[in-house]
Amino acid sequence: MIIGLPLRAPSADASSTVARSDAEWLAAFHRGDRQILHDCYLNHFAAVRRAIATILPPTDQETVIHEVFSRLLAQEQLRASFHGGSFGAWLATVARNQALDYRRRWMRERRWSERPDSEAQSTDTWEEEIQARLLIDQFTQECLPAEWRGVFELRFLQQLSQREAATRLGLHRTTLAYRELRIRLLLKHFLLARDEP
């Protein structure tokens, strides 16, 4: 039985009801039913933490857990990839993959930041740098809420780690990660709107 439904042993008479309940739960999950997703968070938070405990240090686990449940809430395609069976096992796999991606990104950022300045310098021309700066200023002025500008500056422009940025801004890392996710969506919409004819 899918986690999230009442646990009961199906009798011969009840088997069709249980199957229908499983199908209804799955359909509601695919639709993104808020109560179902809320229950998933409450019932599986600890299991997700256990699934990534050997991959990331405790300071980064909170960020990844937040990312997993944010994706579950926001991405219909991710929810649609669960077809039934053990929801806990499926969610643990999603969490492990997210943790591995996070660790790879962190390692790349660390290697990049340790390169000599000569290797890290951008090869953009002066004109391209000016255009990029104007584009950033336009995005900041037209699309970015004032309270998110610090996150944008430290994470996107200065490319500090989440830990460093959260410390400088005096934010919880989950708050910073949420704002970062929202900024990425705003930036995506801003850039797509510019490309439209």
- Domain end residue (candidates: 113, 134, 162): 113
The pLDDT of residue 29 is: 93
Co-location of 108 and 25 in the same domain: yes
Residue 120 has pLDDT above 60, yes or no: no
Co-location of 31 and 69 in the same domain: yes
The pLDDT of residue 118 is: 46
Q: How confident is the model at residue 15 (pLDDT cuts 50, 70, 90)?
A: very low
146-169 mean pLDDT: 89
Q: How confident is the model at residue 6 (pLDDT cuts 50, 70, 90)?
A: very low
The pLDDT of residue 84 is: 86
> Nearest 5°: CA angle at 24, between 32 and 46?
55
111-118 mean pLDDT: 56
149-172 mean pLDDT: 89
68-77 mean pLDDT: 91
Co-location of 36 and 108 in the same domain: yes
Co-location of 130 and 62 in the same domain: no
49-71 mean pLDDT: 88
The pLDDT of residue 46 is: 92
179-191 mean pLDDT: 88
Residue 167 has pLDDT above 80, yes or no: yes
Number of residues written out for the chain:
197
**Closest by alpha carbon to 183, among 159, 160, 157, 151?**
151
Q: Is 7 a domain residue? A: no
Find the domain containing 165 and state its range: 125-195
2-19 mean pLDDT: 37
Please provide the DSSP assignment of 118-175 as one string.
HHHS----HHHHHHHHHHHHHHHHHT--GGGHHHIIIIIIS---HHHHHHHHT--HHH
Rounded to two decimals, what is the model's pTM? 0.48
Dist CA 133 CA 181 (whole Å): 22
Q: Give per-residue pLDDT as tens, 74-91.
A: 999 999 999 988 999 999
Q: Higher model confidence: residue 192 or residue 68?
A: 68
CB 148 within 8 A of CB 182: yes
- Domain end residue (candidates: 113, 148, 183): 113
Co-location of 95 and 38 in the same domain: yes
Co-location of 106 and 156 in the same domain: no
> Nearest 5°: CA angle at 22, between 21 and 24?
60
Strand partners, 3: 5
Co-location of 35 and 107 in the same domain: yes
Average confidence score pLDDT of the chain: 80
Q: How many domains does the chain have?
A: 2
Co-location of 136 and 188 in the same domain: yes
